[in-house]
Structure 1
Amino acid sequence: MTVWVALLRGVNVGSAGRLPMAAFRAMLERLGARDVRSYIQSGNAVFRSAHTAPALEAEIAAGIAVEFGFRPSVLLRGVGEMADILAANPFAKAGADPKCVHIFFLTQPAAGADVAGLRALAARGEVFHLTDAAFYLYAPEGIGRSALAARAERLLAVPATARNLRTAEAVAQMAQDLAVTEE
């Protein structure tokens, strides 16, 4: 079985997309997931499954639509993929404050990204880095105040879901711990 990290987009943000984590974990188990764990209330889960990513992403999104009345985007990443994405974070090497670093997990490479538009929106002190798997943003004034963060997905031209660095690291560690218990 593969250990997966599920990252849901737009869950428990404001009044829309309410997804109780206990009910979400139970739904994942009904879909055949094992050893399901969730992290905070923003749609992060770690579990084992024999299904492939594309099939499982569709199953999870459809299950949420049926049980909770909305259909979020679901991105699955394996343990190795999460480790690679975290290792590619240029701001970790630069010693940036982890509270100011955000990772936008991309559904596919952002080959058509409007990089000039991203640069134009960057406020003073904001820096970003784009790879095939992620868009990394250092926003020292906070992501809530960042015009770049607010419009990044549109300018990247691919679906994405963002997590702050601490959340991404915590979920990756949960997945790693689950993978170790399997060995």
Structure 2
Amino acid sequence: MKTYIALLRGINVGGHKKVPMAELRELLEKSGFENVKTYIQSGNVIFQSSENEVNALEDKIKTLILDYFGFEVPVLVRTRQELLTIFNNCPFSEAKKVESYFIMLSKMPQKEVTKEASQKTYPDDEYAIINACIYLFCAKGYGRAKFNLGYFENKLNVNATARNYKTMVKLLALSEE
């Protein structure tokens, strides 16, 4: 059994796409996932599976949510090691890292679009695109950032979901084997 972290995007925000975590845990357990745990209401699921194909896990979770809750939700699945590597590869100083967001991408963006996306800058926002993650530091806070997920998704032709430093630390702790 391998430990995975599923990151759901856009659920339980402003009363839209409601996915109660208790129901999601039960749904995943009944579908063969083991040791299912969730963290906060924003769609963080730690589980174990004998499946080795991440895309198959993403598709299965998407289908389960669509069939049970009646709407589509973008799902990214990462191994604990992948999440740890993303966390450790943050290029910012420790002071900035604890205030940063980790925007995980559904796939590695092409180099030419990455270069193009990297040209855009704003005075209070710093970011680095490294592999399939964007590290974003917003001096005035994420809510006041000029960048948003839509910009990066459109420019890089990917799906994305963001987690803050504290959530990353908690997901790594919860997924320790």
Tell whether the structures are fold-level matches, with TM greater than 0.5: yes
Pairs within 5 Å for 1:148-163? 148-150=147-149, 151-163=151-163
- In structure 2, the partner of 1:124 is 123
Query: 2-side partners of 1:165 and 1:115: how far apart?
Result: 25
Per-residue CA shift, 1:117-137, capped at 9, x if unaligned?
4543x3322110111120010
1:28-63 deviation per Cα after TM superposition (whole angstroms, max 9, x unaligned): 101111111100000001011112311111111011
Cα 1:10/1:66, change in 2 over 3 Å: same
Summarize the Cα distance change of 1:129–1:86 in structure 2 as closer, same or farther, 3 Å threshold.
Answer: same
Greater Cα offset, 6-15 or 35-44: 6-15
Q: Which residues of 2 match residues 102-181 of structure 1 at below 5 A?
A: 102-111=101-110, 112-113=112-113, 115-120=115-120, 122-150=121-149, 151-176=151-176, 179=177
CA distance in 2, matches of 1:88, 1:46: 21
Deviations 1:65-114 (A, max 9, x none): 111111111111011101100010112x342162x311110111111535
Whole-angstrom distance in 2 between the partners of 1:4 and 1:116: 32
**For each residue in 1:12-31, what CA deviation from the matched residue of structure 2 results, as whole angstroms up to 9, or x when unmatched?**
11222110000000011011
- Judging changes above 3 Å, is the alpha-carbon distance between structure 1 residues 35 and 87 closer, same or farther for their aligned structure 2 residues? same
Q: Which runs of 5+ in 1 are unaligned?
A: none
Partners of 1:115 and 1:147 in 2: CA distance: 19
Match of 2:45 in 1: 45
Alignment of 1:76-115 (within 5 A): 76-91=77-92, 93-96=93-96, 98=98, 100-111=99-110, 112-113=112-113, 115=115
- Root-mean-square deviation over aligned CA pairs: 1.6
> Sequence identity of aligned pairs in percent?
32
Count of paired positions: 174
Name the CA shift for 1:88/1:94 in 2 (closer, same or farther; >3 Å): same
- Cα distance in 2 for partners of 1:115, 1:142 equals 25
Q: Distance in 2 between matches of 1:24 and 1:76?
A: 15
Consecutive unaligned residues of structure 2, counting only runs of 5 or more, are: none
1: CA distance between counterparts of 2:64 and 2:4?
17
Equivalent position amino acid for 1:147 in 2:
K
State the AA in 2 paired with 1:79.
Answer: R
